[in-house]
Amino acid sequence: MSFKKFDFNPKIAAGIRACNYETPTPIQEKAIPAILEGRDILGLAQTGTGKTAAFVLPILQRMLKGPRSNRVRTLIVAPTRELAEQINSDITKLARQTGIRSVAVYGGVGKLPQIKKIQSGAEIVVACPGRLLDHLRDKTFKLNKVEHLVLDEADHMFDMGFLPDIKHILNFLPGTQQTLLFSATMPSEIRHLAEDVLDNPVRFQIAHSRPTATVSQQLFSVEQNRKMTLLNGIMAKTDMASTLIFTRTKYRAESLARQLHKAGYTATSLQGNLSQQKRQKALNGFKRGQFKVLVATDIAARGI
Ligand code: AMP
């Protein structure tokens, strides 16, 4: 099975090759043909399944078929800045040859560079709800020409209290747009939202992905006060090029990174208390190998 059967524009096919994608993932097999047909989608799927390319590729194809404009034609709403950045960077890679540009819009950084990118012709906006509403209230750009709307990780947007913002944002859209909603779980609030915003959607569910066979898992039952000793023991015994540690709270992520730093590891933390600049620095430093250990909260981890 290859991407050829979707008959993508050669400029998009070049993006797929640049990302080294050879065969579509199950979610791509299901979602791409339906999105190309213009159908609304209700997808029960997690991040990590190839979900981003599953919606970005067919949206790009449809955008290339329509007339180019200096307006926002696609809006993607995501719960966290990291996920918005990740989606934006995937779009940049996949769309490089198409000339279609995108911009990530989230709080914690200046508004002006975001406005400039949109005014200079970015047709795709990947946004977190709060900052997007700020822009809409400031009337820095409009959403009345949006052709495609993606609500990504809808259940997390609900968990984070964004549902009223989403409903507000919907008022700025033309109402005729194609809408794609992805969620890992389907609480009743999301089901109601889906009923409101989707028109006769194609529904599918992608089974929870399992770690690949090369990943081994171990579970240790340990008292809270002995966790650090255990972690030190595991880290000392295991030869790890880079280590990602998840904690439940921001405080624990920060203090664990500090303790690991004291113990001689190049460690940093990624959690919601950091400014966007510091989060990006931590993430980039970890990717480049400058930090061998990254301690992250699960919210911050979405999009890694
Ligand atoms: P996502 O669920 O969009 O976060 O994607 C998870 C990871 O899978 C990302 O690193 C993607 O670059 C990668 N990916 C997406 N589609 C494919 C594909 N068809 N083949 C290989 N890797 C893919």
Contacts of 256 (CB under 8 A, 6+ apart): 228, 231, 245, 247, 267, 269, 295
The mean pLDDT of 3-22, rounded to a whole number, is: 95
Cα–Cα distance, 20 to 138 (Å, whole number): 41
Check residues 32 and 66 and name the one with the higher pLDDT.
32
Q: How far does the centroid of ligand 1 lie from the alpha carbon of residue 28, in Å? A: 10
Please choose, from the candidates 287, 279, 244, the residue with its C-alpha nearest in 3D space to the C-alpha of residue 265. Answer: 244
pTM: 0.77
The SS3 assignment for 198 reads coil
CB 166 within 8 A of CB 129: yes
Q: How many angstroms does the Cα of residue 21 sit away from the middle of ligand 1?
A: 8
Q: How far is the CA of 64 from the centre of ligand 1 (A)?
A: 22
Sign of CA dihedral 55, 56, 58, 60: positive
Which residue is closest in CA terms to ligand 1's atom 9? 50
21 within ligand 1 shell (Cβ under 6 A): yes
Integer Cα distance of 101 and 207 in angstroms: 32
26 within ligand 1 shell (Cβ under 6 A): no
41-62 per-position pLDDT tens digit: 999 988 788 999 999 999 999 9
The residue whose CA has the least distance to atom 14 of ligand 1 is: 50
Pick the closest to residue 27 from 279, 184, 198, 204 (CA basis). 204
Confidence category of residue 209, pLDDT binned at 50, 70, 90: low
Tell whether ligand 1 has an atom less than 6 A from the beta carbon of residue 206: no
Count CB neighbours of 134 within 10 A: 14
Nearest CA to ligand 1 atom 21: 21
Q: What distance in angstroms lies between residue 52's CA and the mean position of ligand 1's atoms? A: 7
Q: Does residue 25's CB lie within 6 angstroms of at least one atom of ligand 1?
A: yes
Mean pLDDT of 177-205: 94
Cβ–Cβ under 8 Å, residues 122 and 144: no
Q: What's the mean pLDDT when you consider all of the chain?
A: 91
Q: Residues 138-142: what's their mean pLDDT? A: 94
Q: Is 46 in the pocket of ligand 1 (CB under 6 A)?
A: no
- Indicate whether residue 49 lines ligand 1 (CB < 6 A): yes
Beta carbon of 303 within 6 Å of any ligand 1 atom = no
Kindly report, residue by residue over 245-268, the tens digit of the pLDDT: 998 888 888 999 999 999 899 999
Half-sphere exposure of 67 (CA within 13 A, CB side): 4
Q: How far apart are CA 104 and CA 84, in angstroms?
A: 6
Dihedral, CA atoms, 43, 46, 49, 52, nearest 10 degrees?
A: 70
